[in-house]
Amino acid sequence: MNREEKQQALSQIFPIPSDLPVFTESRLGFKNENGIPVTDPSRRIIYNKNNNKVVNVVKSTFKYEQFSKSFEIMNDILIDADLDISGMKREYEVSIDDAKIKIIYTLPEYKIDLGNGDVTEFQLFHYNSMDGVWKWSLMWGMVRMICLNSQVSYSANGLYLAKHTPSLSPDHAKEKITAGINQFKADGENWKRWRSNKVTDKQAFRMFALAASSETAIQKSKQAPSMWMNDARINISEILEETEVLKNKNLQYLWNQWQQESRILGKTEWAIFNTLTHWSTHSAISLEKRKTKGSMVTKLKKEKTVRKIIRENFKDLTRRVA
């Protein structure tokens, strides 16, 4: 098939969704000190005309594209990168405030198989926003199919950023995505090592305390390594019952998940990694956070935390990552 035929075929398999926000604009209006309605010619209001929900107030020079354009561009990128899209799946999410969109493409032809049904598949992510939180972003990622955890690479996973609609040449798109696939394969080699790298409950607990920002637990684990690791009087169960720690839902979630992961995977770095990625993927987000920051923003922040934890604490990475 030529390029145009590929575009038509991909558009038929993955049409542009019909339920996306449709943005339009109006001048910013307000009442002056005398109560007289006036408009500000230097500012515009961007809103979703489907429900009149305001998503941003911007300068008159601000440029934007409809979210539907993102789907068109991503189809072009998939074609330009010359990927095997057999069995590819697409999903998308619009934030609760209508201002952000995330599109995920899962490509099962690019996978890492650790045996016993433990398969992780390569993904491409697109993020865009109308509220200035995200630039137009292309990233790569991976999903562990056995639990649907979004696995986190120790390496940065950004492929392309643009302030507005990107101008990504076919060669550049292929080069960037090929680099992502190569790093994906390198991560698979790390996971094989992590499956045999043994850890203790106390080593795991310290990483979870750091991830959850539990000051009490962090201070307890900062004691001299020999004391923290070998003093039987330092009891994790007792620490978990302390007031500040008990209120920390993230740390409680991580510790409970660790009990499950370590029973199945053993007390290993691989079990710690899957505990952390389960937390960053599946842990509950309050309604208030969904309204203010949004679940997509919170998830990205957690994934950044996981990346920092593994880079600074896993045995093989602390020797290799500056």
Residue 78: inside a domain: yes
Which H, E and C letters describe the chain, residue by residue?
CCHHHHHHHHHHHCCCCCCCCCEEEEEEEEECCCCCEEEEEEEEEEEECCCCEEEEEEECCCCCCCHHHHHHHHHHHHHHCCCCCCCCEEEEEECCCCCEEEEEEEEEEEEEECCCCCEEEEEEEEEEECCCCCCEEEEEEEEECCCCEEECCCCCCEEEEECCCCCCCHHHHHHHHHHHHHHHHHHHHHHHHHCCCECCHHHHHHHHHHHHCCHHHHHHHCCCHHHHHHCCCCCHHHHHCCHHHHHCHHHHHHHHHHHHHHHHHCCEHHHHHHHHHHHHHHCCCCHHHHHHCCHHHHHHHHHHHHHHHHHHHCHHHHHHCC
Residue 166: inside a domain: yes
Question: What is the torsion angle, in degrees rounded to the nearest 10, for the CA atoms of residue 280, residue 281, residue 285 and residue 290?
Answer: 110
Residue 45: inside a domain: yes
Q: Distance between CA 89 and CA 108 in Å, rounded?
A: 8
Do 161 and 12 share a structural domain? yes
Q: What pLDDT is stored for residue 282 in this prediction?
A: 87
Q: What pLDDT is stored for residue 150 in this prediction?
A: 85
Do 119 and 232 share a structural domain? no
pLDDT digits (tens), the chain, 322 positions: 777 888 888 888 899 999 999 999 999 888 888 888 888 889 999 999 999 999 999 998 888 889 999 999 899 888 888 888 889 999 999 998 899 999 999 999 999 999 888 999 999 999 999 988 888 888 888 999 988 788 888 776 666 777 666 666 767 778 888 889 999 999 999 999 999 999 999 899 999 999 999 998 888 777 655 656 666 667 888 888 998 889 999 999 999 999 999 999 999 999 999 999 999 988 866 444 544 455 677 888 898 899 999 989 887 654 443 3
Q: Distance between CA 318 and CA 311 in Å, rounded?
A: 6
Listed residues 153, 184, 215: the one ending a domain: 184
Distances (CA, A) of 270 to 36, 144, 190, 194, 218: 65, 12, 9, 5, 22
Residue 192: inside a domain: no
The token pair at 117 is 């049904």
Do 164 and 46 share a structural domain? no
Do 139 and 77 share a structural domain? yes
Amino acid at 287: L
Domain count, the chain: 3
Do 142 and 83 share a structural domain? yes
207: left (phi over 0), alpha (psi -120 to 50) or beta: alpha
Do 257 and 144 share a structural domain? no
Do 77 and 42 share a structural domain? no
Residue 191: inside a domain: no
Q: Distance between CA 133 and CA 293 in Å, rounded?
A: 10
Do 295 and 250 share a structural domain? yes
Do 98 and 28 share a structural domain? no
Kind of pairing, strands 100-113 and 89-94? antiparallel
Q: Distance between CA 153 and CA 140 in Å, rounded?
A: 9
Q: Distance between CA 72 and CA 15 in Å, rounded?
A: 9
Do 120 and 12 share a structural domain? yes
Query: Please, are residues 60 and 257 in contact by the beta-carbon 8 Å criterion?
Result: no
Size (the chain), residues: 322
Amino acid at 209: A
Q: What is the pLDDT of residues 31-45, one digit of tens each?
A: 888 888 888 889 999
Residue 291: inside a domain: yes
**Torsions phi, psi of 27, nearest 5?**
-70, 150
Residue 193: inside a domain: no
Q: What pLDDT is stored for residue 286 in this prediction?
A: 46
The token pair at 153 is 């690479």
58 CA to centre of own chain? 27
Residue 206: inside a domain: yes
Q: What pLDDT is stored for residue 320 in this prediction?
A: 42
Q: What pLDDT is stored for residue 64 in this prediction?
A: 87
Do 152 and 9 share a structural domain? yes
Question: What is the torsion angle, in degrees rounded to the nearest 10, for the CA atoms of residue 293, residue 138, residue 105 and residue 258?
Answer: -50
Q: Distance between CA 90 and CA 64 in Å, rounded?
A: 24
**Torsions phi, psi of 233, nearest 5?**
-70, -20
Do 234 and 107 share a structural domain? no
State the residue range of the domain holding 37: 23-59
